[in-house]
Amino acid sequence: MTDAPDPVFTEPWHAQVFALTVHLNEAGHFDWPEWASHFGATLKKNGLSKELDGGDDYFTAWLETLEQFLASKDLADLRDVAEIKNAWERAYLSTPHGAPVTLEQEMSEKR
Amino acid sequence: MPHDDPDHPHSLLPPDPALRVKALETILTQKGLIDPAALDVIIDTYENKIGPRNGAHVVARAWRDPAFKAALLEDATAVVSELGYYGRQGEHMVAVENTANVHNMVVCTLCSCYPWPLLGIPPGWYKSDAYRARAVREPRAVLADFGVTLPEDTAVRVWDSTAEVRYLVVPERPADSDGMDEAALMDMVTRDSMIGTGLALPVERSAP
């Protein structure tokens, strides 16, 4: 094992979900031990069916925990998350390549 | 990125989890619970500003300054906070010293608790089930995988991190490093040596 500099985060969304969690903790929405116990439980559950390699599956478990955790705290409803996620997906698919992708169009069409 | 690729008339769709994270961000931003600019600052900090150099600084100082080392081993939280390496998650830091008799090694069996302010974001293997399970059960075998073989009579002590307590290993100072300055010593302190899965690098012998 060498100390060659590995990228800190291998995928941009790993960094995003990490930062989101740290930011919410620092803003006082939950304390870190509470987060860690939930996250540890998810890792344990996911580790039963396959051996986690600490890469993508680690952050998948992180995201899964955060979604459930925020829902349980009434900070982000799971249905809202699914709906907004679909809106983002539609926005990406309907935005010409190279143009900035925004939710505005998707949101205004719904109203 | 080609903008006129006929195979991609629309924007490239990010992977599913990326869209889920975006959705959380959108909702929390709309509710005024998060500041998107703060997220960028956090990412920049962990990608570019915080890393094992911080821990190496602490270790190199401890090697050179016995009073600093004594204070570090007594109350690491206070000592590293004074250097600006404080944990924003409110955790307690404990420094453990490797000697000829004891080799310390750190794991987090719960998830991946790690001294971020001193070492940055943990490497993938630290977060893997394999390391988390085996470090406690068969530490010597794990050390062998990392190329570390210890004398039979050196005891191996494994510390299990928690969200409240995180550990920094102070590796043994390399032989023949007397009189080296802090910067030179820092270069010998690897990330793995501060987790306990490696040793500090040896002093490079200059050509005769």
Alpha-carbon dihedral angle through residues B72, B76, B79, B80, given to the nearest 10 degrees: 120
Q: Can you give the pLDDT at residue A6? A: 65
Q: In chain A, what are the domain boundaries?
A: 9-76, 77-111
**Strand positions, DSSP E, B82-164:** 92-97, 102-107, 155-160
Q: In chain B, what are the domain boundaries?
A: 16-48, 50-195
Return contacts of B141-145, CB within 8 angstroms, 24+ apart: B142/B105, B142/B197, B143/B103, B143/B105, B143/B197
Per the listing, tokens 């040596």 go with: B193
- Identify the helix (H) or strand (E) that includes residue A2: none
Q: Chain A partners of B23 at a C-beta cutoff of 8 Å?
A: 80-82, 84-85, 88
Residue B164 has what DSSP assignment?
A: S
Measure CB to CB from residue A13 to each of B10, B18, B35 and give the nearest one: B18
Dist. CA B77–CA B66, nearest whole Å: 17
Dist. CA B93–CA B75, nearest whole Å: 8
Q: Do A51 and B129 touch (CB under 8 A)?
A: yes
The answer, yes or no, to whether residue A47 has pLDDT greater than 90, is no
- What is the nearest CA distance from A95 to chain B, expressed in angstroms? 5
Measure CB to CB from residue B38 to each of A16, A23, A51 and give the nearest one: A23
Q: Do B17 and A66 touch (CB under 8 A)?
A: no
pLDDT tens-place values along chain B, 208 residues long: 444 555 667 888 899 999 999 999 999 999 999 999 999 999 999 998 899 999 999 999 999 999 999 999 999 999 999 998 986 777 899 999 999 999 999 999 988 899 999 999 999 999 999 999 999 999 999 999 999 999 999 999 999 998 889 999 999 999 999 999 999 999 999 999 999 999 999 998 654 4
The CATH class that applies to domain B50-195 reads alpha beta
- Name which of A32, A72, A80 to mutate to probe chain B: the one with the most chain B Cβ atoms within 10 A of its Cβ: A32
Residue B107 has what DSSP assignment?
A: E
Just list the catalytic residues of B. Answer: 108, 111-113
Q: Do B88 and A22 touch (CB under 8 A)?
A: yes
Per the CB < 8 A criterion, the answer to whether B113 and B141 are in contact is no
Alpha-carbon dihedral angle through residues B151, B154, B159, B165, given to the nearest 10 degrees: -120
What's the pLDDT tens digit per position in A64-86? 999 999 999 999 999 999 999 99
Q: Chain A partners of B91 at a C-beta cutoff of 8 Å?
A: 32
- State the complex-level ipTM: 0.89
Q: Chain A partners of B121 at a C-beta cutoff of 8 Å?
A: 8-9, 18
Q: Do B24 and A66 touch (CB under 8 A)?
A: yes
Q: What is the radius of gyration, based on Cα positions, of chain A?
A: 17
Q: Please name the residues in contact with A70: beta carbons below 8 A apart, sequence gap of 6 or more.
A: A24, A76, B24, B28
Residue B143 has what DSSP assignment?
A: H
Q: Please name the residues in contact with A39: beta carbons below 8 A apart, sequence gap of 6 or more.
A: A61, A62, A65, B111
- What is the nearest CA distance from B60 to chain A, expressed in angstroms? 17
- What is the nearest CA distance from A1 to chain B, expressed in angstroms? 6
Q: Please name the residues in contact with B94: beta carbons below 8 A apart, sequence gap of 6 or more.
A: B76, B159, B165, B166, B167, B168
